[in-house]
Structure 1
Amino acid sequence: MIKSDIFIKNPKKTIVIAQFIFWVSFFIYFFFLERQYNNVINSVLFSAKATVFYSVLTYFHAFYILPFVERKQYLKYSIITLLFLFIIIVLSLSFEYFAFSKSEPKSSFSEYYNFSGGQIVRTIGSAINALIISALIKFTFDNFLLQKQQLEQSKSRLETEMKYLKAQINPHFLFNTLNSLLYLTRNKSDLAPDVVEKLSELMRYLLEHNDIDEIPLLKEVEFIKAYLELEKIRIPHVSVNFKVNIKNENINIPTMLLLPLVENAFKHGINKNNSENYVHIEINETDDIILTVENSLWLNNTIDNSRDGMGINNLKKRLDLLFGNNYKLTFDKNKKVFKSKLIIPKI
């Protein structure tokens, strides 16, 4: 992908610039070649004629005649090509005859400025070479356009999938919180109003940032803090330790990327009947962004925190789409502790 990115982003502009440079170089080459045998005026005329001859032949064949081959109209292509070659060769030889026949012969090139068999053969050979070159130009141009089209289609599919995965995060978070609220209301807990208030604040944040692909890391940290406050309201006997070490306040990360691991710890690592629950969260900025979440596991917990269905699976899919292989997500579990670690590059 990297080696052709420049061409893929704007193939038309790239090819136009490249061919402009080519034809200027072509003109200069023929000028200095002819200048060894002729004066400046004749050298300019000959170089201009050669440049026009080759360029017209190349582009007319590439963009107006070759399409007949693509449409499998081979007979039509052959007839038009032969007719076009005849016209362009006659015009080229005629120009040379009228432009140079009255000049005194200087040396080798000037000796052939006539309708001799040798000059005709050379002109036909040059024309055939131009046809081959034009076919290569057309193939290259079409190939880059095809790559660009495929890249745009792939990008569109990825954006659609990313929006779909991102859209699933909000309902997932909301359902988990509503389940907790349901638990509190059934037990007629006085904490229910505070949970509703905190939940409304978090939902407002989600709505405000729903269409934003990236947010400052500090904003994500603030959201996680608000989420932790909500969890501490509904589970007062959990010990929460949240450490943040961020040096650069301008770092951005994809929206709602860190929450699933934090949420996962509370969903599978907390026993409401046990007072020895803990969740330790740490966000560090080094060369990368590192999120570490460690939580207690209650006795007989057979649930694998790394297989959280929608939450963790969506996170893995988002990470694959965002970073490819340039990230690391690991899970470590024993009888009492579950630890997850996410390392992502800085944006």
Structure 2
Amino acid sequence: MKKTSGEKLKNEIIRQAVFWIALFVFGIFRNYGEHEQPDFRELFYYDVCHWIFQIIGANWIYSVLIRQFFEAKRYFLFTVYFIGSIYILGVLNRLFIVYAAEPLFVDYPQDRIYDIFTDIKYLLFSYILPVISGSFIFISMRFMLRYRDQKQHALQLQKEKSELELKALKAQLNPHFLFNTLNNIYSLSVTGSDAVSHSISHLSDILDYLLYHGQKERVPIAEELKIIRDYIALELLRYDERLTIEMQEKTGFPGLIPPLLYLSFVENAFKHGAEKTSGEVIIRISVKTDEKYAVFTVDNPLFEKHQDTNTGIGLENIRRQLDLYYPNQYSLEIKQTDNRFNIELMTPLT
């Protein structure tokens, strides 16, 4: 949620108040410790005077000189304005102390205005350096906060981008999956198969999964396996006895995966393994989990006319989703040996 300008101003005031009060208290204790018999009242008034000009100087240097000149790479103007600014701040600081503050708590002879402007050495060490030191600490803090905010903003943008892309990928995958399933049921209806009613029942379960689980970020592996079994039952109605499914589940350690992840691989196995032949087809599916990883494998026949199984909406879509869900954390191996196609996916168990 974006912050309003009022909230930003409030946060800025709180940040600066905390910082400057902390710096002021630190300066009081430091100056008090440097003197054997300090006059606390006098030290306090001098520190307040320096503190006021530290706040003015730090905000001027950061908000105007650095943001508008240094960051715009106008280095010459930045240097000129910086030197001129700290000189003017030092003079104003000394004028304020000599003519406005000191008469309230001490009875010192007042310096001449000419001396205030021309005594550069005294001006530098007693008035300009306190402003510069406070400004340096303040500006360092602001850069650290800016770096943190920019990093958080970049992470948030990346997260939002990933979420939008995932939604687009799921929106692309679900109709594709549904289209193939409806084609299967249509094939059964054309042949007048009595299995149509059973297939509609399985499709109902699949649609329920797509609607109520497909848009989640992650689902339990057990739920994904249940819908895979529904899909297999739907496919078995099509292929009768010539299709053999060997499914092994060793999921002693429960975990979560992106919805439709395993199902998409299974769908590809049927598409490229069972649809392309009239002979006997064996598809092997395995899911194993341990304390750290989940390993999913699918093995199906591969026929010479359909060797290009790396392309298409299915696997390409899944690769992109894996990159978003598990950046540099997953392993996907695709092998083609002895006219068989094998996929092994290993993901962190979350």
Structure 1 length normalisation: TM-score? 0.76
Structure 1 position 71, deviation (Å): 8.4
Number of aligned residue pairs: give it.
322
Structure 1 position 153, deviation (Å): 2.8
Match of 2:57 in 1: 57
Residue 346 in 1 paired to residue 345 in 2? no
Inter-CA distance 89–288: structure 2 relative to 1 (3 Å threshold): farther
Match of 1:290 in 2: 295
Asked if 1 retains the 8 angstrom alpha-carbon contact of 2:57 and 2:86, the reply is no
Q: Determine the C-alpha separation between the residues in 2 that align with 1:210 and 1:19.
A: 49
1:245-324 residue pairs with structure 2 within 5 A? 245-249=250-254, 251-270=255-274, 273-275=278-280, 277-286=281-290, 287-295=292-300, 297=301, 300-304=303-307, 306-324=309-327
Structure 1 position 288, deviation (Å): 0.7
1:325 equivalent among 316, 319, 328? 328
Q: Determine the C-alpha separation between the residues in 2 that align with 1:68 and 1:84.
A: 19
Asked if 2 retains the 8 angstrom alpha-carbon contact of 1:260 and 1:311, the reply is yes
Asked if 1 retains the 8 angstrom alpha-carbon contact of 2:293 and 2:346, the reply is yes
When the two chains are superposed, the root-mean-square deviation of aligned CA atoms in Å is 3.8
Residue 197 in 1 paired to residue 201 in 2? yes
Q: Determine the C-alpha separation between the residues in 2 that align with 1:283 and 1:231.
A: 19
Q: Determine the C-alpha separation between the residues in 2 that align with 1:246 and 1:142.
A: 46
Structure 1 position 18, deviation (Å): 10
Residue 179 in 1 paired to residue 183 in 2? yes
Match of 1:31 in 2: 29
Residue 239 in 1 paired to residue 244 in 2? yes
Q: Which runs of 5+ in 2 are unaligned?
A: 1-9, 109-114
Match of 1:214 in 2: 218
Q: Which moved more, 1:280-289 or 1:119-128?
A: 119-128
Alpha-carbon displacement from aligned partner over 1:109-167 (angstroms, at most 9, x marks no partner): xxxxx979454232123334545555555555444444444333333222211111111
Q: Determine the C-alpha separation between the residues in 2 that align with 1:321 and 1:43.
A: 59
Q: Which runs of 5+ in 1 are unaligned?
A: 1-11, 104-113
Structure 2 length normalisation: TM-score? 0.76
Asked if 2 retains the 8 angstrom alpha-carbon contact of 1:306 and 1:331, the reply is no
Q: Letter of the aligned partner of 2:247 in structure 1?
A: F
Q: Determine the C-alpha separation between the residues in 2 that align with 1:244 and 1:27.
A: 66
Inter-CA distance 311–222: structure 2 relative to 1 (3 Å threshold): same
